[in-house]
Amino acid sequence: MPLFTPELEFSDDYPTIEPSLKLDFANARALDPRITFTRASTATYVGRDGLIKTAGEDEARFDHDPTTGESLGLLIEESRTNLLSYSDLTSGASGSWWVNGGPTVSQGSNVTAPDGTLTAWNTVYNGAFGDGNLYRGGGEVTTTNSTSYTISVWAKANPSNTYVAGIAIRTFNNDHRVNFNLLTGSYISSTEGSPTSYSIIPYPNGWYRCSMTFTSGTDGNQGVQFYLITSTGSTALNSAGANGEEIYMWGAQMEAGSFPTSYIPTSGSTATRGQEKALISGESFNSFFNSTEGFIMGTYKLNGVNTGTDWQTLVTIDNKTASNRMWIYARGGGDITQWIGSSGGATQFTPALGANATAGVERTVGGAYALNDMIGVYEGTLTAPDTNALLPVGVDRMGIGYRDDTSSAFMNGTIKKLFYYPKRLTNTQLQTLTQ
């Protein structure tokens, strides 16, 4: 058990003691030995050089901003499946899975892909009138009716292009479409259906990861199509202007969910990335935790926001049940972030931390506890105190980026840091630490 002494000193604004648990994931880019990390698959992430890397089974991922190289911290994601049997678009060269449609010619794998290998698909408009596209036909990808799906692909335009400006991501049978200008890194308005959302994220060497989220139809089948487009979003290419211009693509993915997750490569069948769990339990947990008072704080960034009420966990301290726990999460559907606690199966406190669940925005939040003395803090702003709250009993673990009592509630984002103090710090100190 940890030893706490009465000689702990605090300044008015900043505690003079160190946290008993200090997880600085962004700077360390390594796991504290007290953490047990599991994931039953390989998984990809963005390395310091902006290229896509692969981590082995049960190997933690430390993600980076693809353009600045900034270390973002520990990446925690739920399980997702790439429903496209071939993420490698060059399989369309022989028509084995992807089909090269319209007057375009595949040039094979002669372009450096976002992972640094010569595996990107290169298509050249060959001068005949009409559109150019790569597709997997309708009815060839099985979907669940009325469900959110996200299609993503890395794409790049030859910088010498003057006519063929980008790509359109399109679905059929249930038609939805979004256009992306790869010369400017911008959207062109949607022209079909009603996509739920879309994104275009820059990567090194002129690459962009383009994605479109949509709700499936009611026929249980879905096709995927990538069109070559002009700067206005037109697929009706004029041969005189388009002849010989090139577009490159790599890493196609279609997954059930309301936002894209890290790349899941496939080669001949669908593939699943396992869910990720970072856990401190037993004596490792007891070595830093104080059951009577404390303060937990963290800085995180969501990569996407879950729909509905599926929570996205920063941290939970519990006994592997919902009956006794303290928990910080961003609520699905874009609702507020909360610091919530329960004891003996009864909810004790639920202060809202004032931060809506928003993708791509860094948040620093925290929660302090002592008997009848609970409060939350969000970037220097305190919640209303709760002076009538019991503490959880029998807690013996900390789940980082997920809840240990359920198979859902994953962060789906990066955790930059997570600190725990074995004292209920003063309100002024809570504000200073989270500003």
- Domains by residue range for the chain, with CATH: 21-79+275-434 (2.60.120.200), 81-272 (2.60.120.260)
Q: Any idea what DSSP says for residue 392?
A: P
Q: Any idea what DSSP says for residue 178?
A: E
- The residues, any chain, with a CB within 8 Å of residue 256's CB and separated by 6 or more, are 80, 81, 83, 143, 144, 147, 148, 149
Structural tokens at position 319: 């006994």
Name the amino acid, one letter, at 386: D
pLDDT the model gives residue 92: 54
Structural tokens at position 273: 């990335």
The C-alpha torsion from 138 through 143 and 145 to 149, rounded to 10°, is: -100
Smallest CA-to-CA distance from 36 within 280, 400, 276, 274 is with: 280
Please compute Rg for the chain using Cα positions: 24
Per-residue pLDDT of the chain (435 residues; tens, 9 = 90+): 343 333 434 456 888 889 999 999 999 989 999 999 999 999 999 999 999 999 999 999 999 999 999 999 999 999 999 999 999 988 755 557 888 888 888 777 778 999 999 999 999 998 877 889 999 876 678 899 999 999 999 999 999 999 999 999 999 878 899 999 999 999 988 778 899 999 999 999 999 999 999 999 887 788 899 999 999 999 988 878 899 999 999 999 999 999 999 999 999 899 999 999 999 999 999 999 999 999 999 999 999 998 766 789 999 999 999 999 999 998 776 678 899 999 999 999 998 887 688 899 999 999 999 999 999 999 999 999 999 999 999 999 999 999 988 878 999 999 999 999 999 999 999 999 999
d(CA 287, CA 280): 10
Query: What does each C-alpha distance from 108 to 111, 208, 247, 289 come to in angstroms?
Result: 8, 20, 12, 57
Query: E-assigned strands of 173-288?
Result: 176-181, 186-192, 197-202, 208-215, 221-229, 246-256, 271-273, 277-281
